[in-house]
Amino acid sequence: MHLEKFAWAVSILEGARRLADDKSNRIPLFLLIGFSVENALKAHLEKKGEPPGKWERSHDLADLYDKASATGLAPIEGVETF
């Protein structure tokens, strides 16, 4: 299941990249980026065997990031600030 979720995250990110060239689509662009990040974090949590809970339906990126970091996610420098 985590591979499907990660693949979905990549697909959403590709959609965001296509929108990035159109300056009138900033809100959809950032929504797609957020959805992509959310799905990638959830894919990481699933892969690490995080027990099911509220995080599965959460859209709180900061909380998902904290949970993923606690299970070994090691993002590149500056991601927390972004």
* Mean pLDDT of the residues in the chain: 85
Query: CA-to-CA distance for 11 and 48, rounded, in angstroms?
Result: 22
Q: Please determine, for residue 25, whether its predicted confidence score (pLDDT) is greater than 70.
A: no
Q: What is the pLDDT of residues 61-74, one digit of tens each?
A: 999 999 999 999 98
Token look-up 């600030």 returns: 81
pTM: 0.70
